Amino acid sequence: MTNDNLRSSVVTQGVQRSPNRAMLRAVGFGDGDFTKAIVGIANGYSTITPCNMGLNQLALRAEAGARAAGAMPQLFGTITISDGISMGTEGMKYSLVSREVIADSIETVCNGQSMDGVLAVGGCDKNMPGAMIAIARMNIPAVFVYGGTIKPGHHNGRDLTVVSPFEAVGEYSAGKIDEEELMAVERKACPGAGSCGGMYTANTMSSAFEAMGMSLMYSSTMAAEDAEKADSAEKSAFVLVEAIKNQILPRQILTRKAFENAISVIMAVGGSTNAVLHLLAIAHAVGVELKLDDFETIRAKVPVLCDLKPSGRYVATDLHKAGGIPLVMKMLLEKGLLHGDALTVTGKTIAEQLADVPSEPAADQDVIRPWNNPLYAQGHLAILRGNLATEGAVAKISGVKTPGITGPARVFESEEECLKAIMAGKIQAGDVLIIRYEGPKGGPGMREMLAPTSALIGAGLGDQVGLITDGRFSGGTYGMVVGHVAPEAAVGGTIALVQENDSITIDARTRSLHLHVPDEELERRRSAWQPPKPRYTAGVLAKYAKLVSSSSVGAVTDLGL
């Protein structure tokens, strides 16, 4: 590699850069190191959450790999919050905000330090899209290393995940289990390090990044505590150094074809609704045109092949044993539903990477279903529209027995109000719950609604009650739920005009979301509506509320700047 290829030469070369080199010598550079690539290692390590508690080991292995490959690694930290711990509290408003903070922090360090490439190590949900937004903005050689999935907990012969205690709360409040059983589930649900174990948001986004070619094959479903995870982190560093030498740039990888590949894989594995929001945001950062309707187009073509939690039976480690994301990708490729000519960070195409992967799942497992016997004939993430969501809304329709419901609206101005009503037994079969003013601006921060949705499942109402919100849902959510309603309540969207006992229809078959109120009555309500005062007037949430865009375009904070 010649020094001409390195943008770090602006701080390492020339007499005038003697003070810069003096600083670099203090952190380990020697005379022969100033012509080497400087590789940033963005380390999301923290002991805040099990998702990130194992990341430092991976960052150190990546550091060793970069050094062995002839580069000069520099570690720096970036933040995380735990969705699982903040869920159901005011703190959850900071979750989606953290995506932007992570993106801004990685961009700030890599550009401020003139780094030649970046290896990002992340675990909890927003680490991945946050890192990828930064990577897309900067367009310097990059690779993403996922911290890995948690292994399942075990209780009474069944696998547990973090969603299990959420659902157990609903079972307890409905009188189905006692406190002793609730505590047993709580104690066994999260046995160690790693991100939440089903096909929830973290594992969905890691799978998407593998499909997009920004992470190494098989890496997205490895367990955090297994040796192969650290080995993969080290190998990722070698791949990154080669990408720097060959100037393989993110914008060569993150093309329209890569996004379509990611969506196909997300549909096939039954991934999280949050993937819609995050892929729209990454596409915005990289300048690729991607719309909500693109998800619907691909959904119609791609079946759900994997029987994974939350609505299915298995966890990510089971998917890994069955062949992982490469096997799913090969099945899609064989059916013409994956772009094999898309580039990966290795310099090889997707088709080249999948050349030796089997085309069919093994007969002795049922985690990945054969093409002629899918879990669902079409994808599970539906884009709904109607007078209640003129810009669109996102519904996860897997695991739902009845794809449509019409019922009376039960209106709540916050998640807490709704959960309180569920726990008190005030929700009846046939109700359609509205949780509003929880959108990107209104929350602000678009909280996830895992507590109420899990409580409904635990109470046995998951297939009998609809829930509509301008907030988000956890990757662990399933049932007749519709999120990301846009326009949101805080900007005067129709969801702000719904009144108690209004009739509402959710219909996944026709992909419609309709409020049965005459247009003239809606106009009367709209003229009387007043925007709420901002909930925050200083600090990060106030800044976010001021800048954030609609969820229909990814809830980004730099639209039109």
Residues recognised as catalytic: 474
- Within 10 angstroms of residue 513's Cβ, the number of other Cβ atoms is 27
The residues, any chain, with a CB within 8 Å of residue 388's CB and separated by 6 or more, are 468, 485, 494, 495, 498, 504, 513, 514, 515
Cβ(473)–Cβ(483) under 8 Å?
yes
CA 206 to chain centre: 8
Nearest-angstrom CA–CA distance, 397 and 82: 26
Burial bucket for residue 122 (CB in 10 Å: 0-12, 13-18, 19+): buried
d(CA 389, CA 169): 31
Name the burial class of residue 365, with classes exposed (0-12), middle (13-18) and buried (19+) by CB atoms within 10 angstroms of its CB: middle
User: Contact, 41 vs 145, CB < 8 A?
Assistant: no
How many angstroms separate the Cα of 224 from the Cα of each of 303, 446, 459, 494?
Answer: 29, 28, 33, 43
Cβ of 46: how many Cβ atoms within 10 Å? 19
Q: What is the amino acid identity at position 199?
A: M
DSSP secondary structure string for all residues of 470-485:
SSB--TT--SSEEEEE
Residue 404 burial class via C-beta count within 10 angstroms: exposed 0-12, middle 13-18, buried 19 and up: middle
Q: Helix or strand or coil: residue 75? A: strand
Distance CA 201, CA 308 (A): 13
Q: By the 8 A CB rule, do 494 and 472 touch?
A: no
Q: In what order do the strands lie in the sheet with 72-77?
A: 72-77, 38-43, 117-122, 142-146
Q: Which amino acid is located at 260 in the chain?
A: E
Distance CA 489, CA 493 (A): 5
For every residue of 4-40, DSSP letters joined together read GG-TTHHHHSSGGGHHHHHHHHHTT--GGGTTSPEEE
Q: Hey, what's the torsion of the CAs at 209, 282, 557, 291, to 10 degrees?
A: -130
**Taking the CA of residue 288 as centre, how many other CA atoms within 13 Å lie in the half-sphere pointing to its CB?**
22
Q: What token pair was written down for 103? A: 């993106």
CA angle, 354 then 359 then 360, to 5°: 140
Dihedral pair phi/psi, residue 484, rounded to 5°:
60, 25
- For residues 482 and 435, the answer to whether their CB atoms sit within 8 Å is no
What is the Cα Rg of the chain in Å? 23
Task: Say if residues 432 and 468 touch (Cβ distance below 8 Å).
Answer: yes
End-to-end alpha-carbon separation of the chain, Å? 37
